[in-house]
């Protein structure tokens, strides 16, 4: 398999609307469809254990609709096989990627040639956000979580580094697929924090009933 740096040039894809994985984030997944069970089993046998999370542009039952151009790859860092043959896995985010072209083959899951070049900073270590005002950000999060009846460990968030705080909230909040994609594609952590604040403020202004852009 062709490698770009330490990452494969061709990766299996898991198209899943509304799912957001970010570098160094942890995404738990419940795998039960036969094609994705086979994909996970194949990935586990490779040294990289890489799966690319990406959102579909359109929802189709056969899973072969058009895809958005940018996703995020993760390494299977934990996996458990259940008694009835399902997998419970955790992906740890490695890097975003740009979709180049899909690869045909006999496997039932989708594979694509991808490019990592635009996202070298994803593998350079945790980012910081000098503009993060926790005195404003945390109370805003509390208002949003209370309005949406969400729960989190506030003490842990208060102690978290900038990247963990912003990325964990981005992954956790129940935004719609388009909003999640905007958070994924934010060039820097500061850009993601600004987009996240804008989405939260819009949701609070819209009231308790989710708008179309929210899940």
Q: What is the pLDDT of residues 67-83, one digit of tens each?
A: 999 999 999 999 999 99
Position 214 scores a pLDDT of 36
Give the pLDDT band (50/70/90) at residue 104.
confident
3 state DSSP class of 95:
strand
110 and 161 within one domain = no
Render pLDDT for 31-66 as a digit per residue (tens, 0 to 9): 999 999 999 999 999 999 999 999 998 766 666 789
88 and 115 within one domain = yes
191 and 150 within one domain = yes
CA pair distance 69, 106, nearest whole angstrom: 23
CA pair distance 140, 214, nearest whole angstrom: 17
15 and 104 within one domain = yes
Position 210 scores a pLDDT of 45
103 and 170 within one domain = no
Q: Which of 206, 212, 193 is nearest to 141 (CA)?
A: 193
Q: Which residues neighbour 71 within 8 Å (Cβ) at sequence distance 6 or greater?
A: 13, 52, 53, 54, 55, 96, 97, 99, 114, 184
Position 64 scores a pLDDT of 73
Average pLDDT score over the chain: 91
Total domain count, the chain: 2
DSSP run (H or E) holding 52: strand 50-54
65 and 11 within one domain = yes
pTM listed for this prediction:
0.90
36 and 89 within one domain = yes
194 and 102 within one domain = no
Give the pLDDT band (50/70/90) at residue 195.
very high
89 and 174 within one domain = no
Q: Domain of residue 161: give its range.
A: 134-206
Q: What CATH number should be reported for the domain holding residue 20?
A: 2.30.130.40
Q: Is residue 58 part of a domain?
A: yes
Give the pLDDT band (50/70/90) at residue 105.
confident
């Amino acid at each position: 398999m062709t490698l770009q740096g330490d990452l494969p040039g061709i990766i299996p894809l898991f198209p899943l609307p509304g799912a957001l994985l970010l570098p160094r984030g942890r995404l738990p997944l419940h795998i039960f469809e036969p094609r994705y069970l086979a994909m996970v089993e194949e990935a586990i046998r490779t040294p990289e254990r890489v799966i690319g999370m990406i959102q579909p542009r359109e929802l189709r039952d056969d899973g072969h609709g058009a895809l958005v151009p940018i996703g995020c790859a993760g390494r299977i860092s934990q996996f458990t096989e259940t008694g009835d043959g399902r997998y419970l896995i955790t992906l740890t985010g490695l890097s975003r990627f740009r979709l180049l072209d899909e690869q045909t083959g006999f496997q039932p899951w989708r594979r694509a040639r991808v490019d990592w070049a635009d996202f070298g900073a994803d593998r350079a270590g945790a980012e910081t956000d000098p503009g993060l005002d926790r005195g404003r950000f945390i109370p805003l999060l509390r208002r949003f979580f209370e309005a949406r009846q969400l729960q989190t460990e506030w003490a842990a968030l208060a102690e978290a580094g900038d990247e963990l705080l912003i990325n964990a909230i981005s992954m956790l909040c129940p935004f719609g697929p388009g909003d999640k994609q905007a958070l994924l594609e934010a060039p820097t952590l500061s850009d993601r924090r600004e987009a996240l604040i804008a989405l939260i403020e819009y949701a609070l202004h819209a009231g308790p009933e989710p708008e179309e852009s929210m899940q």
